[in-house]
């Protein structure tokens, strides 16, 4: 059995640019309704929504 632990990085600025360009279309296509709702609920600070969504790709 192979057990591994890895680290992935995602550039939050890249996710922010994609959201600026495609908006809800990107969010609906790449995230579940639950993930999108969580990100919108955490959008009280600038960049927080993007950071929440970027975690999915990391």
- Check the CA dihedral 32-36-11-7 and report its sign: negative
Confidence class for position 18, pLDDT limits 50, 70, 90? very high
Q: How many CB atoms lie within 10 A of CB 43?
A: 15
Encode burial over 4-16: b for 16+ CB neighbours within 10 A, e otherwise.
Answer: eeeeeeeebeebb
Cβ(17)–Cβ(27) below 8 Å: no
Q: Which two tokens stand for residue 53?
A: 């969504």
Q: What is the pTM of this model?
A: 0.69
Tokens 């995602």 belong to 10
Tens digits of residue pLDDT in 24-46: 899 999 899 998 898 888 888 88
């Amino acid at each position: 059995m192979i057990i591994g632990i890895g680290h992935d990085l995602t550039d939050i600025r890249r996710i922010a640019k994609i959201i600026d360009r495609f908006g809800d279309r990107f969010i609906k296509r790449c995230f579940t309704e639950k993930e999108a709702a969580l990100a919108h609920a955490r959008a009280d600070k600038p960049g927080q929504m993007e950071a929440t969504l970027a975690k999915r790709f990391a």
